[in-house]
Chain A
Amino acid sequence: MSLDHESFVASHVKDLPRSGIRDFFAVVSEMPQAISLGIGEPDFVTPWHVREAAIFALEKGRTSYTDNRGLLLLRREISKYVADFFGPEYDPANEILATVGVSEAIDVALRAILNPGDKVLYHEPCYVSYAPSVTLALGEAIPVGTKPEDEFALDPAAFEAAWEPGCKALLLNFPTNPTGGTADREKLERLARFAIDKNLLVISDEIYGELTYEGEHVGIASLPGMKERTLLLHGFSKAFAMTGFRIGYACGPAVLIEAMMKVHQYCMMCAPILSQEAAIEALLNGGDEVARMKEQYHRRRDFIVRRFNEIGLSCHSPRGSFYAFPSIRSTGLSDTDFAHRLLREAEVAVVPGTAFGEHGASHVRASFSTSYENLVEATDRIARFRDDIVTEDAASV
């Protein structure tokens, strides 16, 4: 009799749904000739001076473990950068933890603060890992929808309405993957009052903060009374085009950072030293490259949003991130059917909105982190695809 391997899988892992993106990836990977607007990372290669710093560190034999919290020089530079960009000042000695990307920071933060059954409010559509990370930390994730009519911006009233006893934390991501939604100061202030009133901790993933195209990025930790109840998570993947380095960080109150560090030291030991060295170089000398890439994303955003609206796929202008999130409701197709047919019939890959939660229904995520040539060709193909659908519908009437 063969061993029942399924019986060894923990029930809370068994019950986790497969990522919708993973399913779609399997289909796309069979069509290498397709133009992909499904990529959730910069199309730019990491700036050379950053790569060169990693090579130099390797040549120098810097291949050891580091302090669990990360190199002190890195934490000092993070402290300066965060104070300059986000506002609050964090002590490099005990209020900053270098992590293996923001993904690890989210995981470690949730495992550090949640007791079994604690509830976490998060907005949806959102990055695919939030709810599963809460579940894996034995908490209960409660989705709070953001709305197309609000351009998927933060909706404090929806958070207030969703609150229930047992809520311990809010998990935020503005600008948001996949919608490009942002949170303005006024709404954040209302949410901050709610967090203080209900004694909630805020976990704020601000990985797209630099890629804010209209207005300034406001971090919730910069608001009065919020630094002490916020874990600010950030990293180098997006603005610095360093996804493969897997380097991020958490800033927060010393007691919470120490709790996160306990989890981090047992599961990860430390972030890779070469990535830490590269991150130091990025912080010291990467500003111009970040500005150059942001300028290009900004122009591409204007292009793709204009094209989607011309095509008849209503699309708000995302204020941040590098994703457009057009509605495909006018086609009469579900977002999953739209994405699968678009791939098969027009050879363009976009990600169905429901891969980011049920609130993403009737939308698709189209990344503009690709060349103009690809964007021009992809949107032309999408236009023809939509025309074909409209013609089909007319013929069937």
Chain B
Amino acid sequence: MSDVLTLLLEGAKPCADHLANVLGKEKAEVEAELRRLEEDKSLLGWLPVFNPEKVEEGRVRAVIEVKISPEREGGFDRLALRIARFEEVESCYLMSGGYDLLVFVTGKNLRTVAAFVSERLATIDGVLSTSTHFLLRPYKEQRHLLVDETEAVDKPAVSP
């Protein structure tokens, strides 16, 4: 794994100047590495991690378990991609176990998510059933706990 990628995975800011400074490399070298990661699709994009309770107030997120029929050629892929392409879908995974796809969906309110599930998702040919769970409260978002781990610690500023 490249050291640029390692730093990004640890949560470093995706800023070539910062990464170059931390790694002791030329900025151009870091930019080339970022380009390479994007070109070979290792790096799909940039998205900040927000506290949804503060930034997306009122938005609704749901996790939907979807059962679908596999097809003779392609298995689950065609239907999975058809579902994944909807703007409302944040993530979509093929799962082992009691259902086939796990679909993360967001909408501006409960009604829009419900409408998406009942009118768009459930009506697709090959979708056998859906089971929708609404997220009530986040505790951890993309490895970030929504509480400060050390907030109560009175740590000395200088120690031996």
Q: Report which A residues bind B (CB closer than 8 A).
A: 19, 21, 24-25, 28-29, 32, 34, 36, 38-41, 45, 127-129, 177, 296, 299, 302-303, 306, 349, 351, 355, 372, 376
By a CB distance below 8 angstroms, the chain A residues around B149 are 45
Q: Cβ of B155 < 8 Å from any Cβ of A?
A: yes
Taking chain B's interface residues, is the majority helix, strand, or loop, or is none over half, making it mixed? Answer: loop
Q: Is B160 a contact partner of A303 (Cβ separation < 8 A)?
A: no
Closest to A243 in B: B159
Taking a contact as CB atoms closer than 8 A, the residue among A39, A296, A303, A306 that contacts B158 in the complex is A39
Verify B24–A302 contact, CB threshold 8 A.
yes
Interface residues on B, range: 10 to 19
Which 4 pairs of residues, A with B, have the shortest CB-CB distance? A38-B158, A40-B159, A36-B157, A25-B158
**Interface hub of B18, B23, B149, B156 (most chain A Cβ within 10 A):** B156
B residues lining the A interface (CB < 8 Å): 3, 7, 10, 12, 18, 21-24, 149-150, 155-160
Are B157 and A38 interface neighbours, CB within 8 A? Answer: yes
Out of B7, B22, B159, name the residue touching A39 (CB < 8 Å): B159
User: Using Cβ atoms and an 8 Å threshold, which residues of chain B touch A177?
Assistant: 160
Is there an interface contact between A351 and B157, defined as CB atoms closer than 8 Å? no
How many A-B residue pairs have C-beta atoms within 8 angstroms? Tell me.
57
Query: If A45-B149, A372-B12, A376-B18 touch, does A306 touch B157 (CB 8 Å cutoff)?
Result: no
Report the bound CA distance from A277 to B47 in whole Å: 40
With A and B bound together, what is the CA distance between A296 and B160 in angstroms? 21
User: What chain A residues lie within 8 Å of B21 (beta carbons)?
Assistant: 303, 376
Judge whether A376 and B160 touch: CB under 8 Å: no
Is there an interface contact between B150 and A351, defined as CB atoms closer than 8 Å? no
List chain A residues, Cβ under 8 A from B24: 302-303, 306
CA distance A372 to B13 in the complex (A): 10
Given the interface pairs A302-B24, A376-B22, the reply to whether A296 lies near B10 with Cβ below 8 Å is yes
Contact A372 B158 (CB under 8 A): no
Instruction: Point out the residue from A19, A24, A38, A372 that lies within 8 Å of B22, measured CB to CB.
Output: A372
Find the A residue at minimum CB distance from B3. Answer: A299
Chain A residues, Cβ within 8 Å of B157: 25, 28-29, 32, 34, 36, 38-39, 349
Q: B155: which A residues are within 8 A, CB to CB?
A: 39, 41
CA distance A299 to B155 in the complex (A): 24
- A372 vs B8: C-alpha distance when bound (angstroms): 12
Among B149, B157, B158, max chain A CB count under 10 A is at B158
Q: Which B residue's beta carbon lies closest to that of A300?
A: B22
Bound together, the chains give a CA A129 to CA B12 distance in angstroms of 37
Q: Which residues of B contact A32 (CB under 8 A)?
A: 157
B153 shortest CB reach to chain A, Å? 8
Q: Please pick, from A21, A28, A36, A299, the residue contacting B160 in the complex, using a CB distance under 8 A.
A: A21
- Bound Cα distance A56, B155 (Å): 25
Whether A39 touches B156, Cβ cut-off 8 Å, given contacts A303-B24, A372-B22, A376-B22, is: yes
Most buried by B among A28, A39, A302: A39
Chain A residue nearest to B13 (CB atoms) is A373
Give the complex CA separation of A28 and B158 in angstroms.
7
Q: Please, which residues of chain B bring their CB within 8 A of the CB of A29? A: 156-158
Question: What is the CB-to-nearest-CB distance from A304 to chain B, in angstroms, rounded to a whole number?
Answer: 10
What are 22 sample pairs from A and B whose C-beta atoms fall under 8 A apart? A21-B159, A21-B160, A25-B156, A25-B157, A25-B158, A28-B158, A29-B156, A29-B157, A32-B157, A36-B157, A38-B158, A39-B156, A41-B155, A128-B160, A296-B10, A299-B23, A306-B24, A349-B157, A349-B158, A355-B160, A372-B12, A372-B22
